[in-house]
Structure 1
Amino acid sequence: MNQLFKVFILTNMLLWLSFNIEAQTDQSQIQKRLTLGLNSGISNQAILFLENSDYQYKNQFYRVEFRFPITNKKNWNFEMVAAPSYYITEYRLQNKHYIKPEDNENYVAEREKYTQERILKEYALQISLLWRYNISKKLSAYSLIGSGPMLIDKESERQAKGFNFSNYGGFGVMYQVSNIFLDLRGSIRHASNLQLREPNNGYDMMSVEIGVSMFL
């Protein structure tokens, strides 16, 4: 998963560099107007290359997005996104042998505890960089990547509760109807804590979400 994020970051850095060279030649066209949006979606780790038979992780989430355009070119736009997010997650250990006798002298009780489905609540503030390509006057495609602090209210056998980081990247399309923007997005997310506490094996998930936003 970490390698995937490195490739994603490198690709987007190259796109940003080529765009920034062009944008510097015409800063007079910049228009700054805040956009407020509400997105909702579902996530699951049991999809494609993210699937891990050790655990079940699926959730429903809600996200408020504040988008602030940094540049406003004819074809490419560059934006900053701040997104407070709330995740309600169904979590369960599926492979009880993930908890080994040498890891914990109470491993039998730990296996019993974590193989029961649990509800985890996650609160995140994700700050992302978004670059958009205008396909037409109303339709655009975009990519974004970001990270931010997150709190998880319960621990699991693979991740400590409390302070973590939510790393996020995705692609989407947006269609404008008058002053309203309709949003469809696919994304991947990785949650971990940079080894601040143990355990720190992290959660990986793939999401699909829809949203609506408008100019303020």
Structure 2
Amino acid sequence: MGRRLLLGMLFLLSVKIMAQEKDSRLCLGLNYGFGSEFNNTDYTFINHFYKLQLYYKLSETKHFQYEILIQPEINFAKHQLLNFYFVKPETPDYQQKREDYTQLKEVREYVLNLGFLVRKPIGKSCSVYVLGSIGPMINDTETERMSKGFAFADVLALGFSFKMKKIHFDIRPEIRHVSNAGLSGKNGGYNTRNIEFGVSYSL
């Protein structure tokens, strides 16, 4: 009986240790962000977006933590061509396209970002980090700068995180570039400056 009790206690202890290890590596959260294009005279692009966040800590050294990040995202944007000369006269039906493209358009982007994050802890509760991500996306609206369909989203961000027990709060300024890498007709792309706010929970 005593042996069974001891084995049972050892089993529960090992489960607890494994759970603690899992807690230290996985984190799930939600981010909300918004932004706009860099100032220019050619077009406007205003966006806001939601991201699910799944963090996994790969390793940790004395000064840094290394994580990978999966981020399904939906992006809601409004875009308008300001400089109709962007559509060249050699473009077929260029006058009609100028008229069409200078209308305000709503754009939806469905993205799967895959990122790598380097984190520098500051004390027990705070950290700063650098994040780079790239991912495939589907764009649902053709504009003068982007064909409808498949493209990529690239993000470079600096972040600050504050932790309270298992809850993490994030603020993340970033630069974002969207283009289709020349896989389809129009590839001018969009460049935006965004900021994200997020909350996540250690699993």
1:192 paired residue number: 179
The one-letter code matched in structure 2 to 1:42 is: F
Q: Is the 2:161–2:169 contact (alpha carbons within 8 Å) kept by the matching residues of 1?
A: yes
- Residues 37-81 of structure 1: per-residue CA shift (max 9 Å, x gap): 1000102113xxxx3311101101000010000013342100000
Could you say if the C-alpha distance between residues 138 and 32 of structure 1 is closer, same or farther in structure 2, counting changes exceeding 3 Å? closer
1:65 paired residue number: 53
1:202 paired residue number: 189
After TM superposition, the structure 1 = structure 2 runs for residues 50-199 of structure 1, keeping only pairs within 5 Å, are: 51-104=39-92, 106-199=93-186
2:15 paired residue number: none
After TM superposition, the structure 1 = structure 2 runs for residues 1-80 of structure 1, keeping only pairs within 5 Å, are: 33-46=25-38, 51-80=39-68
Structure 1 stretches lacking a partner, 5+ long: 1-28
The whole-number CA distance in structure 2 between the counterparts of 1:58 and 1:41 is: 11
Q: Is the 1:74–1:134 contact (alpha carbons within 8 Å) kept by the matching residues of 2?
A: no
The whole-number CA distance in structure 2 between the counterparts of 1:177 and 1:183 is: 12
How many percent identity over aligned positions? 36
Q: What RMSD, in angstroms, separates the aligned Cα atoms of the two structures?
A: 1.6
Q: Is the 2:137–2:153 contact (alpha carbons within 8 Å) kept by the matching residues of 1?
A: yes
The whole-number CA distance in structure 2 between the counterparts of 1:103 and 1:121 is: 25
- Residues 188-209 of structure 1: per-residue CA shift (max 9 Å, x gap): 1111111111111111111011
Larger mean CA deviation between 75-84 and 106-115 belongs to 106-115
The one-letter code matched in structure 1 to 2:187 is: N
Q: Is the 1:191–1:204 contact (alpha carbons within 8 Å) kept by the matching residues of 2?
A: yes
The whole-number CA distance in structure 1 between the counterparts of 2:143 and 2:24 is: 43
Could you say if the C-alpha distance between residues 32 and 178 of structure 1 is closer, same or farther in structure 2, counting changes exceeding 3 Å? closer
- Residues 126-181 of structure 1: per-residue CA shift (max 9 Å, x gap): 00100000011000000010201000001101111100011111001000012100
Structure 2 stretches lacking a partner, 5+ long: 1-20
- Would you tell me which structure has more strand in proportion to its own residues? 2
The whole-number CA distance in structure 1 between the counterparts of 2:75 and 2:68 is: 22
Higher Cα Rg: structure 1 or 2? 2
Q: Is the 2:25–2:58 contact (alpha carbons within 8 Å) kept by the matching residues of 1?
A: no
The count of aligned residue pairs is 183
2:12 paired residue number: none
